[in-house]
């Protein structure tokens, strides 16, 4: 592990905890964790920063997934099938990433996110559980659509570009499978474990993980993830909806900054 000042180490651990909380509630923890690592480790190669980020994130995501599965009505088999499709999609996206300019993608993603935010605000019932706790019936066609388009498509986006993948997963799962936002967050966590695991395996094979730093930050990320999952389960879909809108607008602001101000 490189020499890191104590103050920097404390900030990185706090960022890991906050990222775990955000990721568990609605996805998007990478918006905080990755920039924190990049700022805190300015002289470390980018590949090592990305690998360390995955090693930290997968711990918190796994903890949140276990918490959700124990408490929320998650169909684990469906989630794993979507996760495998997302894993394949992310590998394909990574293959094409070198030929795509992020400057072209950022404005498109910003427009999509703003449209999503408008939709969520104008549809207060979006992602809420029904009064009797039941869900609309999900057809086989919708399940296949979730596996192919949600898993494969968003997985491809994750490998190609990445920011906001967890948030897109929550929104897409809510729309396609008629899930409430809490169950969609739970399902997204299982999918994220699959995609993070594949990426981490590749980074580990390449020797691009700072394991000592990752282990310390992972403890805080796990704590944040467990707290976030329990809060989402306790407070329900309206709470998740509020956090979702904050994360969406934060992502738009970050993309705008990267595009025009950085």
* Exposure b/e, 198-235, CB count within 10 A at least 16 = b: bbbeebeeeebbbeebbebbbbbbbbbbbbbbebbbee
How far apart are the C-alpha atoms of 239 and 241, rounded to whole Å?
5
**Residue 197 domain-assigned (yes or no):** yes
Which of 8-12, 149-153, 202-206 comes out lowest in average pLDDT? 202-206
**Residue 208 domain-assigned (yes or no):** yes
pLDDT of residue 131: 47
Please give the mean pLDDT across all residues of the chain. Answer: 84
**Residue 101 domain-assigned (yes or no):** yes
Q: Is the pLDDT of residue 127 over 80?
A: no
- For the stretch 70-124, pLDDT in tens is 888 888 899 999 999 999 988 888 777 656 665 666 787 778 778 877 877 877 7
Mean pLDDT, range 2-24, rounded to an integer: 89
Q: Residue 67's pLDDT band (boundaries 50, 70, 90)?
A: very high
Q: Is the pLDDT of residue 186 over 60?
A: yes
**Residue 189 domain-assigned (yes or no):** yes
Q: Is the pLDDT of residue 21 over 80?
A: yes
Domain count, the chain: 1
Query: What pTM value is reported for the model?
Result: 0.79
Mean pLDDT, range 139-144, rounded to an integer: 85
Structural domain boundaries, residue 237: 6-261
How far apart are the C-alpha atoms of 170 and 57, rounded to whole Å?
17
**Residue 235 domain-assigned (yes or no):** yes
**Residue 70 domain-assigned (yes or no):** yes
pLDDT of residue 97: 61
**Residue 1 domain-assigned (yes or no):** no
**Residue 62 domain-assigned (yes or no):** yes
């Amino acid at each position: 592990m490189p020499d890191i000042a104590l103050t920097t180490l404390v900030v990185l651990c706090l960022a890991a905890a906050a990222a775990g909380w955000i990721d568990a509630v609605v996805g998007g923890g990478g918006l905080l964790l990755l920039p924190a690592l990049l700022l805190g480790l300015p002289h470390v190669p980018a590949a090592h920063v990305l690998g360390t980020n995955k090693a930290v994130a997968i711990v918190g995501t796994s903890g949140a997934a276990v918490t959700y599965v124990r408490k929320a009505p998650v169909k684990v088999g469906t989630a794993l099938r979507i996760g495998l499709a997302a894993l394949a999609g992310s590998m394909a996206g990574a293959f094409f990433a070198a030929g795509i300019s992020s400057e072209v993608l950022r404005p498109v993603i910003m427009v999509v996110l703003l449209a999503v935010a408008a939709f969520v605000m104008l549809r207060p019932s979006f992602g809420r559980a029904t009064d009797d706790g039941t869900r609309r019936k999900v057809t086989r066609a919708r399940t296949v659509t979730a596996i192919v388009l949600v898993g494969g498509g968003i997985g491809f986006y994750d490998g190609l570009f990445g920011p906001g993948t967890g948030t897109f997963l929550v929104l897409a799962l809510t729309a396609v499978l008629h899930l409430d936002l809490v169950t969609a967050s739970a399902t997204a966590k299982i999918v994220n474990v699959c995609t993070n695991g594949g990426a981490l395996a590749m980074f580990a094979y390449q020797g691009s993980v700072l394991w000592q730093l990752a282990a310390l930050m992972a403890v805080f990320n796990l704590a944040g993830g467990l707290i976030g999952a329990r809060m989402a389960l306790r407070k329900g879909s309206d709470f998740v909806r509020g956090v979702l809108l904050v994360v969406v607008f934060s992502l738009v602001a970050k993309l705008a900054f990267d595009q025009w101000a950085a």
